[in-house]
Structure 1
Amino acid sequence: MASHPARRSLLAAGLGGAAALSMGAARAETMPETRWRLASHYPKSLDVLFGAPETLARLVAEATDGRFQIQVLPPGEPVPAEGVIDAVSAATVEMGHAPATLGSGKDPTFALASALPFGLNARGQNAWWLQGGAADLFAEVFAKHGLVSLPGGNTGAQMGGWFRREVKSAADLQGMKIRIAGLGGQVLAKFGAVPQTTPGPEIYAGLESKALDAAEWIGPYDDEKLGLQKVAPTYHYPGFWEGSAMLHFWIGAEAWKALPKAYRAILQAAAAQAHAEVLAKYDARNPRALRRLVAAGAQLRPFPQDVMETALKHSNDVHAEISAKNADFKRIYEAMKTFRNEEYLWFQVAEYTYDNFMIRARARG
């Protein structure tokens, strides 16, 4: 018997409504209301670095229609700057944003994931992480601490820092009180320097009072905010202890496991966008900041060749000493060295040749 048109219409409406309800239930199941907190290592004044988790949080919220919200917290609310990785590991917060070097006190292997004296440059570090197997190597190490990590930006090559007097030879570093942390501090200690872990906000006062002879920070855009050229006018380069500095989004392993697959994918995509933006912002902003610093009295000086050569030797010694005591560090350090050698084989053929020509052409006007 033929179905009545009105009946067919009601049946279709009923099926449509049921399908809509079913889809809505599925969406609610796969996209649950989720609220996370992210502790930043960086204050809001460092807008490029603090901006990375803000970008991530905004993209995640937009991609989930606001169902997955991440609150970005500055240092001290409630996690101190130096405690970000520990807080994520302890599940005090679900996420954090900090350089891996923050964890090197517990395990120096962490330093390899961010910045190693005479390590990879920013492009090399990115390639090693995304295509060279580094992500898998570090995943094993971080899992021991209940952590998952996603790339969260890179500063690029950093500056060598601000000195109250110019370094003209390796001997000049003897006895210098220098604000620097991590493995770079161990390298400078071999010169006879005295590493200091002075917090960023206290650097100016330390240099002004002569409690510090020198201090490294980041690069022109961020250094300009501290006004250090007024108290330590010699601005040395490069920061050989940080040929690049890769930052990370840290996620508690249990929090990561509890996320729906769709949220994990969204978080990874948002992190990738934030990661790319950090280096782009620095590359765009550092040139103008450097011009302003020089106009304000900064005296740009390269580290002398003997400083660089001696620093490379001391760095190799530090890495060998750590490798002898830490199997994870040795395994990943050897992998990094192999990748670094291959990268520079390529860079010297095309990248360096091109850049060198263009730099000289610029100098000729």
Structure 2
Amino acid sequence: MTEQKGSRRKFLTGAAVATAAGLAAPTVAKAQGPISMRFQSTWPSKDIFHEFALDYAKKINDMTGGDLKIEVLPAGAVVPAFGLLDAVSKGTLDGGHGVMVYHYGKQTALALWGSGPGFAMDANMLLAWHKYGGGKELLEKLYSSIGANVVSMPYGPMPTQPLGWFKKPVAKAEDLQGLKFRTVGISIDVFQGMGSAVNALPGGEIVSAMDRGLLDAAEFNNASSDRALGFPDVSKVSMLQSYHQNAESFEVLWSKAKFDAMPEKMRAIILNATEAASQDMAWKAIDRYSKDYAELAQGGVRFYKTPDAILKKQLEVYDDVVKKKAGENALFKEILQSQLAFAQRATKWEQDTVVNRRMAYDHYFGQNAAAKKI
């Protein structure tokens, strides 16, 4: 009987401890609260690019059910736009929203993720190479080679960027010679090869530099950004179409230490949310860019197609630039060859398969537009 009482006492004591532990567990979990992270974009708050960064954070916050809360600050809030990679790598920031060409000074091969003609690929095709053609692994290798403690997620395919804003239309390649011009990434080398004096400036500094005469011409990205940044205040001539940044995408950087420390489920949500944000950004860009393009034209901006002679010259100079860099940089050459192999297959399929939509555009909206009869 004594033995039975002792066993019963032990059982009740154990049950009480288990119950207490069970009651305490939710309290501990609740006390931990959501994970808070501070990001910075490389864009002024008035630029649609910063809006894209806020959209990205909101999608992550929503899809994690509030378990992760990302705050996004504009360029310069913590570090300059070109200082984002170092800040995220060192943990000064938990993450950031920008473009890889802003780190061009760290490793020139980063420019191959968007600063150039893309070997006939558009930005969405370049992202396909990144995910399925070996680009992701090469980018990890690249960042490791420069000691960057980051997780990089390219997303958000951009449309072809304009040649830029000028004092007067440019008709031939020689018109670029001697111009004080703003661009970034490997486009610096391309425009220098075409005779321009290049100054790499972040987006928020371009218009003031043009206004003060420090630049004769400049490119940034798209109708919405250019309008918000004030390009129409310093120029009324915009040259459309260029190969200098034909296939660029955004990049979200995460502190590797912070990202790896998150629960596996949260990391999976982030990866999938990034792809969802990528498509949403592309849809929003079509809507907003087209509206701002129309309003810029109505406001007196004159748009011109970049002459084919300039486009052809860009390709020729770009070939010389990448050949030289591949000879100097083994990783650059490895990435270049990977892109070329993927592009040859993917663009052959695209060119043979996708119908040219110009005929349909002319049919519905040209001089004898069918849309008027529908």
Identity level (%): 26
Asked if 1:256 is matched to 2:239, the reply is no
Q: Classify 1:204/1:71 alpha carbon distance in 2 versus 1 (closer, same or farther; 3 Å).
A: closer
User: What SS does structure 2 have at the residue aligned with 1:279?
Assistant: helix
Query: What residue is the counterpart of 1:92 in the other structure?
Result: 92
Q: Does 1:39 align with 2:75?
A: no
1:143 is displaced (CA, Å) by 3.0
Alignment of 1:131-280 (within 5 A): 131-144=132-145, 145-280=148-283
Unaligned runs of 5+ in 2: 1-14, 370-374
Aligned residue type for 1:131: Y
* Aligned counterparts, 1:6-155, within 5 A: 21=22, 28=29, 33-47=34-48, 49-119=49-119, 120-144=121-145, 145-155=148-158
- How big is each residue's C-alpha offset from its partner over 1:127-149, in whole Å with a ceiling of 9 and x where there is no partner? 11222221122122123322211
Q: SS at the partner of 1:239?
A: coil
Q: Structure 2 vs 1, CA of residues 289 and 260 (structure 1 numbering), >3 Å: closer, same or farther?
A: same
Tell me the residue number matched to 1:308.
311
Partner of 2:7: none
CA drift of 1:117 comes to: 3.9
Amino acid across the alignment from 1:62: D
The SS at the match of 2:153 is strand
Alignment partner of 1:182: what SS?
coil
- Counterpart-to-counterpart distance in 2, 1:231 and 1:51: 24
Judged with a 3 Å threshold, the aligned counterparts in structure 2 of structure 1 residues 32 and 246 are, in CA distance, closer, same or farther, namely same
Asked if the contact 1:161–1:216 (Cα under 8 Å) also holds between the matched residues in 2, the reply is: yes
* Residues 202-257 of structure 1 deviation map (CA, whole Å, 9 limit, x = unaligned): 43333334332111011111111234234322211213111122111111222222
Cα gap change, 1:92/1:237 in structure 2, threshold over 3 Å: closer, same or farther? same
Name the amino acid aligned to 1:152.
Y
C-alpha distance in structure 2 between counterparts of 1:226 and 1:37, whole Å? 25
AA aligned to 1:132 is G
The question of whether the paired residues in 1 share the 8 Å contact of 2:59 and 2:277 is answered with no
CA distance 1:22–1:328, change in 2 (3 Å) = farther
Q: For the aligned residues, what is the CA RMSD?
A: 2.7
Secondary structure class of the residue paired with 2:186: helix
Partner residue of 1:318?
321
1:43-74 deviation digits (Å, cap 9, x = unpaired): 22113x22333233333333444332222122
Whole-angstrom distance in 2 between the partners of 1:328 and 1:278:
30
Q: Is the 8 A contact 1:154 1:244 kept in 2?
A: yes
Deviations 1:164-196 (A, max 9, x none): 021111111110111112211210111111111
Q: Structure 1 residue 151: deviation in Å? A: 2.5
SS state at 1:266 partner: helix
The code of the aligned residue for 1:92 comes to T
Q: If the length of structure 2 is used for normalisation, what is the TM-score?
A: 0.85
* The 10-residue stretch of structure 1 (144-153 or 88-97) with the greater mean CA deviation from structure 2: 144-153
2:122 and 2:24 map into 1 onto residues whose CA distance is 47
- For the 8 Å contact 2:100–2:111, the answer to whether it is kept is yes
CA distance in 2, matches of 1:262, 1:27: 20
8 Å contact 2:114–2:123 — kept in the other structure?
A: no
Task: Give the corresponding residue for 2:360.
Answer: 358
Structure 2 distance, partners of 1:194, 1:77, is 30
Change (3 A) 1:301 1:262: same
Which stretches in structure 1 are left out of the alignment for 5+ residues?
1-13
Q: 1:113 to 1:165 in 2, by over 3 A?
A: same
TM-score (norm 1): 0.87
Q: How many residues align structurally?
A: 349
